[in-house]
Structures are given as structure tokens and as C-alpha cells.
Amino acid sequence: MKGNSEAAQISRHRKELRYGFSTGTAAAAAAKAALYELLALPCPETVRVTLPGGGPLAVPLAEHRRLGGGGEAVVVKDAGDDPDVTHGARIGVRAKWANGRCCEALAITAGEGVGRVTKPGLPLAVGEPAVNPTPRAMLRRAVREVGDQLSPPRLLRVHLEIFVPQGEELARRTLNPRLGIVGGISILGTTGLVKPFSHSAYRATIIFSLKVAKAMGLKEVVFSTGGRSEAALVRLLPHLPEEAFVQMGDYLRFALKAAAHLGFSKILVGAYIGKALKMAQGFSQTHASRGMASFSDLALWLREKTKDSWLAQAVAQANTAREVLEIIPSAQIQPVMSEVGGRMLAALRSHAGPAVGLTAVILGFNDLPLYWQYDRGGSK
């Protein structure tokens, strides 16, 4: 089965990059343990969770106990070798019986450190705890599995409170505030597993960010390649709300196609010279693993613009983009940046299609623009 295959990858890749499990999986395991305590049943030190695609995963418990008239358990999130901000976080669940007024078999609330949705555009309604659909399904299944173990089996009507003691602090290091999730982290996961250096998680964040901007009624979105370039663009575009700014990382082609598909009429892409040069050279994904920017190409363009062979040779031999800007005389910066920017704009157009208004911005290391050009395209 697919689920068994996914679970098996954890041990199969242990000698390479180690897989981990999601906050949703951690919450499902903690929920099961909390229910055992609620029912006064023996609680194992390792809980088996069913992954969304099927197949079990054994998750160790950090603690579990009877708490008043309910139960409580905590799992320490293990993200494996993924650079996950929630790695090592304590994901807890408190379980108690649902009151008679509860019409649902399972009620989920956000305890300390779990965020609440305040903006439209996410797969959860405004006001809901930031526990995504797949983790909610995992929690429902966990409750059902515990109920099925009883003799006779029965439907458990329970209230689960998810909590993350350091969640509010951790959330400041995520995009949750931008997405309108306040008060803590989100409980996430689509497969239940965390794949090392997962590209899918970043792409999903881009989509969520774009959907929030769309739901806010915005027509323009601003893509940056990271935190510093975004901060510079925020200062340069103070009239735009924070929802307009989306960190696309290295996913240039993916982000542009997604924004165009969602119907944004204007897209601005800003980057420092190194990333801008890679865009100008036609890279659709600008991560270093996909290759380095070629200063020899820049040298060729510079020679064509300036007719200065010595300067072109010096640029071709440069080690960094910062060195390139130090080599080029100030009088030649604008012509060279115009060449790079024009090629960058053409590359953006190839990814976004003809109908979107596009702006290419190249930032200098003083965070001021070296190039800023808008192309109206086919937009009205």
C-alpha cells in the first residue's frame, strides 16, 4: 500500500536524510494517549498513528497523565533532517468528554500556542483553530480507533484541546502572522511525514499566501527571494498591505504561474543581483543546487554594451555578485543593469504569460533599486 511505502521510507533513508513526522501526526499521537488516560486504559509509551495514505507510524510519547476528569499527553515533534522551525516543539492534547450541547462527535479547540485564523483565503474558516484539514482527519481517525478498541466498540464524543507551550514564540519565525494566523503555530501535514528539505511545503506556503492576498481583494502581488529582499521591497512599496508580499524563495516559475492562474493583474519580482542574473539567464528555479549564475554571460552582455574588453574580462573572473558591482564603474552600472533587467523581465514574461502586468526590480546591496521596470503586457 502507498501508506506503508511512505512509512517505510523513514527507515530506508535513515543513512541518508532522516525523515520525521508532522505536527499533525504528533497531535494525533498525543490525542490517542490523552484518550487512553481519559478512559483509564493502560497507555503505551509509543503510540501507533495511521498515516493519511494508510499504514502505521510509531510515535514516542514524551509524557501522559490523568488530568482531573480528563487526560493529557505530549509528543515532541521530530522533523528529521528537515530545517523545520517546529522541530523539538512539544505538541500536546488535553481530552475530556464533550458536553451535551456538542452536536459533533469531535470538538477541536486551540489551547496555548496554537494559532487561530483571522483572514480568509486559508482552507479553514475565519475564527477556527489553525488545525489544517488533514490533521483534523487524523484526529478524527485517532478518536475512532480508540473507540473501536473498546469492548464493545463505541463512538466517543470528546473535546480535544491542542496546545503547544512555546507555540506563540515559534510562530514569530514562520509566515503565520502574514497569513493572518495569530496566537501560535499551525498544526500541519498532508502525508503525516516530514520529508527532508521538503519542496512541497514551501510551494504550499506560496499558494496559501497567494490565496490570502486574493481573498483580501488584492490585485497586485510582490514576490521576493527571501527575508532581506522582502524587507527592502516593503520599504520601497509602503502603500501596499503586508498580504501583498510573498516570499517565493527560489521557486520563480512556480510562483509566477500560480499568481497568474489565480488572476492577479500585476506581479512584481524583486531580487538582488545574483538571483536577478540567474533569472535573466533563464533559470526557472534559482536555488544554488540548480547551478550558479554565470558571470561570463554578464561579461558578454557588458562587452556588447560598453565595448570595454578589459572590464568584461574582469567581470567574467569575479567570484561574487558583490565583487561584480565593485568592479563595474558607476557610470556603467545603469546600462549593465538595464541589460540584465530587460532579460530578467523577458524571463518573467515567459513564466507568467502575456496577460499579466510585470515589474522587475534589481536591488543593490544598499537595498536601493538598481533597476525598476514595468511591462504592461496584455493587462487592462
Q: Could you tell me the residue ranges of all domains in the chain?
A: 2-194, 199-375
Higher pLDDT, residue 121 or 127: 127
Can you tell me the mean pLDDT for 210-220?
95
Nearest Cα residue to 71 out of 97, 45, 50, 91: 97
What is the predicted pLDDT for the residue at 3? 44
What is the model's pLDDT at position 100?
64
Euclidean distance between CA atoms 282 and 52, whole angstroms: 38
Judged by DSSP in three states, 198 sits in coil
- Rounded CA-CA distance 207/246 in Å is 10
Stretch 11-17: mean pLDDT, rounded?
46
- Section 42-52 average pLDDT: 96
* pTM of the model as a whole: 0.72
CATH ID of 199-375, from 3.90.105, 3.40.1050, 1.10.287, 3.40.50 = 3.40.1050
Confidence of residue 269 (pLDDT cuts 50, 70, 90): very high
Whether 287 has a pLDDT exceeding 70, the answer reads no
What does the pLDDT read at residue 304? 86
Residue 65 scores a pLDDT above 50: yes
Residue 63: beta bridge partners?
74
Could you tell me if 185 and 133 are in contact, meaning their C-beta atoms sit under 8 angstroms apart? Answer: no
* Residues 40 and 54 sit within 8 Å (Cβ to Cβ): no
Would the pLDDT of 6 be above 50?
no
pLDDT for 293 equals 60
pLDDT at position 133 over 70: yes
Which pLDDT band, with edges at 50, 70 and 90, does 101 fall under? Answer: low
Statement: residue 5 has pLDDT above 70: no
Q: Which residues pair with 113 in a beta bridge?
A: 184
pLDDT digits (tens, 9 = 90+) for 156-209: 999 999 999 999 999 998 888 888 899 999 999 888 988 765 677 778 889 999
Stretch 98-114: mean pLDDT:
83
- The pLDDT of residue 42: 96
| Predicted confidence band of residue 9 (pLDDT cuts 50, 70, 90) | very low
Mean pLDDT of all residues in 82-91:
88
Return the pLDDT at 197: 58
Position 165 scores a pLDDT of 97
3-state DSSP assignment of residue 46: strand
Lowest mean pLDDT among 57-61, 144-148, 162-166, 270-274: 270-274
Segment 108-120 mean pLDDT: 95
Residue 13 pLDDT more than 70? no
pLDDT score of 285: 58
Pick 178 or 37 by higher pLDDT. Answer: 37
Mean pLDDT for the chain overall: 88
**Between 104 and 120, the higher pLDDT residue:** 120
Per DSSP, what are the bridge partners of residue 222?
245, 268
The yes-or-no verdict on residue 379 having pLDDT over 60 is no
pLDDT digits (tens, 9 = 90+) for 343-377: 999 999 999 999 999 999 999 989 999 999 999 98
CA 112/CA 162 separation, integer angstroms: 8
**What's the pLDDT tens digit per position in 225-238?**
988 899 999 999 99
Q: Which of 9, 25, 112 is nearest to 60 (CA)?
A: 25
Element (H, E) at 345: helix 330-352
Percent over 90 (pLDDT), the chain:
64
Note the pLDDT of residue 104. Answer: 66
pLDDT of res. 83: 67
Yes or no: domain 2-194 corresponds to CATH 3.30.2110.10: yes
The pLDDT of residue 30 is 98
Render pLDDT for 290-338 as a digit per residue (tens, 0 to 9). 445 668 888 998 888 888 899 889 988 887 788 888 888 888 888 889 9
Closest CA to 84 of 202, 224, 211: 202
The torsion angles phi and psi of 216, rounded to 5 degrees, stand at -80, 0
